[in-house]
């Protein structure tokens, strides 16, 4: 608490880490590249899970759980997949005191183990679709890690669905990307571009990959969710066929889609400020903190009693409220602590306020003294829900304005390069490049094509690298 948060303008990376450590969202684990998600951080994950899980179930999905271990031979069945993932796997060679006959990989993702089961479960078109999601931990050995954004072990959900036709699989792939977009924008208050990945950025083993891409406050891109149309690749690798209505045997079509604890990193980097975490109300574990202000026991009793009444009113409105009535800290110290922790509304409540029949509310998203709101006691239960909505909307609008202000149009390679060298933000430009052209972007400006947005104007222009005419515009940026 006493420590200072590095300013964003001084050292953006350190600012990010300072917030995580000081708000006790996560900590470095004694195992290289791993993190501990502390209760303050895990509570955010629980709210992310609840909201997403409901959206998955509303779209017909069910949860299941598949093993952590994947036999080495399974990994080798899908060629692109093994090339993509094998180098970053953790390998179990011993179990129960003995060397294993076959090495086991800790799942970096579960396509292979799941499709080995679908092979047993799918015989007929009547068994399709299978719409399964899994909440799990996965492990990818990372050389350079950063809390929440890239850790050796992380938590995620992975949907794995099986369909009778390409069209069904494609529809599912896009549906789930749209679920992610809705979640990012409505819950995380995070505007995203949604679209398709280029060939060199797609998932190892997919026909094509769709993604949502957000801009962080340092103007870098963060891939916040992906949805893959896997085609028949895994069905072929694991020999999963079904008998269609005409009694013909066909391969099953697959999708997979996932988001991870990385979303917590995105939340932090999109909204927070130099005073600490800023959480969108819909995902804030505590939405309102009430701080009774008292000088003696009589005042304490009076203000805490009033705080409890307010809390009950707000609980009835399904608002998550905490009363901080600790004796050992002064109000100013508490204000700073809850600011650091990102609680959307702080309600101050002293004897004078009570005498005047009012409380004072401070918004976490607007921290000027003039932004404080005085609220009559009888207005609280109607006004606080509206204020939370307003904060949610303000965070989204602010993030969207920031992104729009830092998304540029470029019509020449040099122009693009200049924007990237200046770390100016995203560039939108015509693109008809190849894998090699993408490599050139990486080498020459450390940038990547983030996505080919679904929303295209249809206008034509010249590709920024090849000069070929095209009607496709892409988003280019530096990425986490």
Residues that bind its own copies (CB under 8 A): 27, 29-31, 34-39, 42-43, 45-46, 62-71, 74, 86-97, 104, 106, 113, 116-117, 120-121, 126, 132, 136-137, 139, 141-143, 152-153, 155, 328
Is 262 buried (19+), middle (13-18) or exposed (0-12) by CB count in 10 A? buried
Q: Would you say 351 and 303 are in contact if contact means Cβ atoms under 8 Å apart?
A: yes
Rounded to whole angstroms, the Cα distance separating 306 from 300 reads 10
Which CB atom, from 135 or from 251, has the smaller least distance to its own copies?
Answer: 135
Closest contact distance (angstroms) between CB of 288 and its own copies is 18
Tokens of 10: 């001084």
* Closer CB to its own copies, 130 or 179, in the complex: 130
- Residues with Cβ within 8 Å of 321's Cβ and at least 6 positions away in sequence, in order, are 286, 287, 288, 289, 290, 310, 311, 314, 315
Residue in the structure block whose two tokens are 């069945």: 77
Q: 144 or 295: whose CB is closer to its own copies?
A: 144
Pick the closer one to its own copies by CB: 23 or 155: 155
State the minimum distance, in angstroms, from the CB of residue 313 to its own copies: 21
b or e along 131-146 (b: 16 or more beta carbons within 10 Å of the residue's beta carbon)?
A: bbbbebebbbbbeebb
The alpha-helical segments, DSSP class H, found in 202-296 are 233-237, 262-271
- Least CB distance from residue 90 to its own copies, whole Å? 4
Q: Return the number of other C-beta atoms located less than 10 Å from residue 121's C-beta.
A: 11
Smallest separation, CB 469 to its own copies (Å): 44
Q: How many CB atoms lie within 10 A of CB 197?
A: 22
* CB nearer to its own copies: pick between 27 and 469: 27
Nearer to its own copies, 57 or 79 (CB): 57
SS3 217: coil
Work out how close the CB of 281 gets to its own copies at its nearest, in angstroms, rounded to a whole number.
20
Among 398, 400, 420, smallest CA distance to 410 is for: 420
Determine which helix (DSSP H) or strand (DSSP E) holds 310, and give its type and residue range.
helix 297-316
Q: Pick the closer one to its own copies by CB: 143 or 355.
A: 143
Both tokens of 351, joined, read 């004897």
The one-character DSSP state at 333 is: H
- The full length of the chain comes to 480
Shortest reach from residue 45's CB to its own copies, in Å:
8
* Residue 258 Cβ vs its own copies, minimum distance, rounded to whole Å: 17
Angle made by CA atoms 346, 351, 353, in degrees to the nearest 5 = 55
Dist CA 41 CA 193 (whole Å): 26
Q: Whose Cβ is closer to its own copies: residue 76's or residue 381's?
A: 76
The least CB distance from residue 69 to its own copies, in Å, is: 5
Residue closer to its own copies (CB basis): 87 or 467: 87
Q: Using the minimum distance from each CB to its own copies, give the nearer residue, 148 or 257.
A: 148
Beta carbons of 302 and 360 less than 8 angstroms apart: no
Query: Do 273 and 340 contact (CB within 8 A), yes or no?
Result: no
Minimum Å distance from CB 178 to its own copies?
Answer: 23
Q: How far is the CB of 398 from its own copies (least distance, A)?
A: 30
Element (H, E) at 405: helix 380-405
């Amino acid at each position: 608490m006493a420590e200072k948060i590095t300013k964003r303008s001084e050292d953006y990376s350190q600012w990010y880490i300072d917030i995580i450590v000081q708000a006790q969202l996560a900590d470095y684990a004694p195992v290289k590249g791993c993190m501990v998600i502390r209760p303050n951080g895990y509570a955010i994950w629980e709210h992310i899970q609840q909201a997403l899980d409901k959206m998955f179930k509303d779209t017909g999905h069910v949860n299941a759980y598949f093993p952590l271990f994947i036999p080495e031979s399974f990994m080798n069945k899908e060629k692109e997949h093994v090339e993509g993932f094998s180098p970053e796997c953790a390998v179990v060679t011993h179990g129960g005191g003995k060397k294993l006959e076959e090495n086991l990989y800790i799942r970096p993702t579960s396509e292979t183990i799941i499709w080995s089961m679908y092979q047993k479960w799918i015989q007929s078109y009547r068994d399709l679709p299978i719409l399964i999601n899994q909440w799990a931990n996965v492990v990818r050995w990372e050389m350079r890690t950063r809390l929440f954004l890239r850790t050796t072990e992380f938590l995620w959900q992975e949907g794995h669905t099986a369909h009778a036709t390409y069209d069904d699989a494609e529809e599912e792939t896009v549906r789930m990307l749209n679920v992610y977009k809705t979640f990012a924008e409505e819950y995380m208050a995070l505007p995203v571009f949604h679209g398709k990945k280029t060939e060199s950025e797609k998932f190892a083993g997919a026909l094509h990959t769709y993604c949502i891409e957000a801009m962080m406050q340092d103007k870098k891109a963060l891939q916040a969710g992906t949805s893959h149309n896997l085609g028949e690749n895994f069905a072929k690798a694991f020999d999963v066929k079904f008998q269609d209505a005409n009694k013909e045997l066909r391969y099953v079509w697959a999708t997979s889609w996932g988001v991870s604890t990385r979303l917590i990193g995105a939340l932090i980097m999109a909204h927070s400020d130099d005073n600490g975490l800023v959480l969108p109300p819909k995902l804030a574990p505590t939405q309102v903190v009430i701080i009774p202000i008292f000088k003696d026991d009589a005042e304490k009793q009076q203000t805490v009693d009033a705080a409890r009444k307010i809390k009950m009113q707000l609980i009835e409105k399904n608002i998550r409220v905490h009363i901080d009535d600790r004796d050992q800290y002064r109000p100013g110290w508490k204000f700073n602590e809850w600011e650091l922790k990102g609680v959307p509304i702080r309600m101050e409540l002293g004897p004078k306020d009570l005498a005047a029949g009012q409380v004072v509310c401070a918004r976490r998203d607007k921290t000027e003294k003039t932004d404080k709101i005085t609220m009559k006691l009888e207005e609280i239960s109607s006004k606080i829900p509206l204020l939370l909505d307003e904060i949610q909307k303000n965070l989204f609008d602010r993030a969207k304005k920031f992104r729009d202000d830092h998304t540029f149009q470029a019509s020449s390679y040099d122009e693009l390069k200049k924007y990237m060298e200046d770390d100016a933000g995203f560039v939108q430009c015509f693109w008809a490049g190849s894998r090699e052209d993408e490599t050139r972007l990486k080498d020459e400006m450390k940038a990547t094509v983030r996505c080919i947005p679904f929303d295209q104007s249809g206008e034509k222009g010249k590709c920024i690298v090849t000069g070929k005419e095209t009607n496709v515009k892409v988003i280019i940026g530096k990425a986490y």
